[in-house]
Amino acid sequence: MSVRTLYEYAVVRVVPRAEREEFVNVGVALYCKKFRYAEFLFHLNAHKIKALYSESDIEEIKRHLESFQKICAGDKSYGRIANLDQAERFRWLTANRSTIIQCSPSHTGMCISAEDTHKELVTKLVL
């Protein structure tokens, strides 16, 4: 019998012009303490972003998302935040901010596999 365990996630959005409050969902950050899982998966749809703001620098956005991914995974070469424990990294990354990369409020759920649940959430909320 598989036991379900608690996880937290936030949808990561690209907000090309914060003052317009328009965004494109590009990824999901997921944290599960029991499975020691903290990862960020993303899919960048340049056409959707350019539709909101044609002057968006897609390569710069991609670099920001890749940094977000490395910090979430705890890549020590990405500075102080990446060296925090998983819960602290997740909460720092998903905190409210007014930048081009923003997160939804955090949500919780129950899962049997953090990795499978993460992929399902990306499919449902991003793709």
Please classify residue 3 by burial: count the beta carbons closer than 10 Å to its beta carbon, then call 0-12 exposed, 13-18 middle and 19+ buried.
exposed
The mean per-residue pLDDT over the stretch 49-75 comes to 97
| CA distances for 75 relative to 49, 71, 78, 84, angstroms | 28, 6, 6, 10
Residue 18 has pLDDT above 90, yes or no: no
The mean per-residue pLDDT over the stretch 62-66 comes to 98
pLDDT of residue 1: 63
The half-sphere exposure of 39 on its side-chain side, counting CA atoms within 13 A, is 13
